[in-house]
A and B are shown apart, each in its own frame.
Chain A
């Protein structure tokens, strides 16, 4: 699962995901994302979903973990480029407000 990390600004990081984010790929993405949150002192993390065709519940659960880690550090998490499927998945988990989709 390709995952690209950009430090766009001093306090702003962007992660671009490519490929499905489901129960098969979630373990690796989780590892990378948690590492990014831990190592970088970024105050805000942006995750780009424009290259993610499919978001599964496992992906949503990982996002919840990342969000929790970010809030603990006082940072913010923003999801951009969500397609319809991903949006529906997040809404079905009743997390639409939390992720502002």
Chain B
């Protein structure tokens, strides 16, 4: 295995409540680069992210962190891995009962013996970085969605992570703030050499920040490459994705009719009923 890869994924399948949501995913996430995982909503990219941060257990021999099999991590191994990562969740996932600065202090308080004053200065540094230095003592409920997300980023950066995972950085943000966030991601890679994995459906921001792009569709890997390679791709589905064309609906007329007319049908029953529950 190449030492330039931070994380390597091989033949990853994933099931959710009896439905397969990822099919044989395999690619590598290089060191100190920005990797963008793209696809429209429901394509399984967030599920993939959950595998990478160990929230969804995968079979042994599927996800490797610096050559080590994540499936074989025990509790301690997982904790060690997680001390090296920072995760920004889609909604920011701030703790409601704590102020913004207390939110950032949570990992520091648990994992370090730093004094309260040092922790306070660190929170301020991180908040200033995301442009929220004036909101130190606000409660999350007093912030807008975009601010919550930026505060979540400050918290993800609290422990100076080597690897940063970002779920939909620009969703719910105004274009200017979103662009600022993209710049910050680039700066983090530039200055600190952070390995960054971004999950998004925004093509523009993906092309702007990505060193490597991973395009997904309905649980399948469509393409992996630099933004230029992706753009010059000849693959029909990738092209359609780039042109943002609506996918042709593959309507199964027979099942549609039988559903309308109340006759029993079998194929696809489970998948349609459970579509609501994909995460």
Contact = CB atoms under 8 A, between A and B. Distances in A.
A–B contact, 8 Å CB criterion (strictly below): yes
A24 B112 contact: yes
B129 A65 contact: no
Contacts of B158: 57
Nearest to A60: B125
B125 A62 contact: no
Interface residues of B, number: 22
B118 A92 contact: no
B114 A23 contact: yes
A23 B117 contact: no
B191 A88 contact: yes
A64 B108 CA distance: 17
Contact of B115 (A27, A56, A57): A27
A72 interface: no
B48 to A, nearest CB: 29
B126 A23 contact: no
B203 interface: no
A22 B158 CA distance: 12
Interface size class of A (residues with CB under 8 A): 20 to 34
B187 to A, nearest CB: 7
B239 to A, nearest CB: 39
B114 A65 contact: no
A30 interface: yes
A58 B113 contact: no
B13 interface: no
Nearest to B159: A23
A51 to B, nearest CB: 20
B114 A27 contact: yes
Interface of B: 108, 111-115, 117-119, 121-122, 125-126, 128-129, 158-160, 187-188, 191-192
7 A-B pairs closest in CB distance: A61-B121, A88-B191, A23-B112, A93-B125, A61-B122, A61-B118, A27-B113
